[in-house]
Amino acid sequence: MKGRVIPLHTRLEDRWDIDVDALETELRKGVKMLVLNTPCNPTGKVVKKETFERIVNLAAKYDVTILSDEVYDRYVRSPAPSILESGYNNFVYVNSFSKQFGMTGWRIGYLVTTPDNVLRIRRVLQTAITCVPEFIQDAALVAMGSARAEAQRQIKKILDKVGLTCRELAKIDVSFYKPEGAFYVFPKANKQNFDSLTFARKLLEQHHVSITPGQAFGDYPEYFRLAVSLPKAEIPHAIRAIGTAIEQW
């Protein structure tokens, strides 16, 4: 059985909002699963509650399974809507310890769905990875217990760094939407014929700053993603280097 992906393009000019009418046009074609990521990587967009409810209603209308990727749900200043609170039953909720507890590299995630879906997903996982290594399971237990307060402190520090990144970006020749969640910013370089793939390579080689080209996320060659993971003191220097490289483009 084969499947294909139908991307739904969103735009900076629309504040990265989902065009629900365009979404319904695609759902009418017999879509089986809708992948929804909010808060979003790379834009930092949090889908508004009203929009989220409209999307859920459309999924119910066309009998579509929603895969709700909510791994950045703690990286928000106000709660983001969740499929778990929607009242819709045809969903797969996905989350991860990697983001909430800073367990990067120690990959462990979890999902919530129907018992039938769990059985099918478990068969795939048993074939693909067998199980999560025991030491990572032990770390997850610590994270859920004594590490919760520390994790929340780190999340606050990262959100503060997102704010600093946006203030610095306002000083260089880019356009961007201030993220409402996650720890990414997705600016657009205000240059003709800008190619972020070539730009990313030159930026790394000449200024030792790493970014992700917009092409990694679809048809966004003028954009690039910043993951706000640097120490706070280094962020202004990194943004200035990006600004210098854009001026030289």
Dist. CA 141–CA 225, nearest whole Å: 32
Report the Cα–Cα distance between both ends of the chain, in Å, rounded.
Answer: 46
Q: Is the pLDDT of residue 96 over 70?
A: yes
pTM: 0.92
Query: What structural domains and CATH numbers belong to the chain?
Result: 12-144 (3.40.640.10), 148-247 (3.90.1150.10)
Q: Is the pLDDT of residue 1 over 70?
A: no
Token output for 58? 């459309």
What is the DSSP code (8-state) at residue 173?
S
Of 98, 106, 18, nearest to 66 by C-alpha is: 18
pLDDT tens profile 148-191:
999 999 999 999 999 999 999 999 999 999 999 999 999 999 99
Q: Is the pLDDT of residue 2 over 80?
A: no
Q: Is the pLDDT of residue 244 over 80?
A: yes
CB 156 within 8 A of CB 45: no
pLDDT tens profile 59-74:
999 999 999 999 999 9
For residue 42, say if its preceding peptide bond is cis, omega within 30 degrees of 0.
yes
What's the whole-number mean pLDDT along residues 233-237? 97
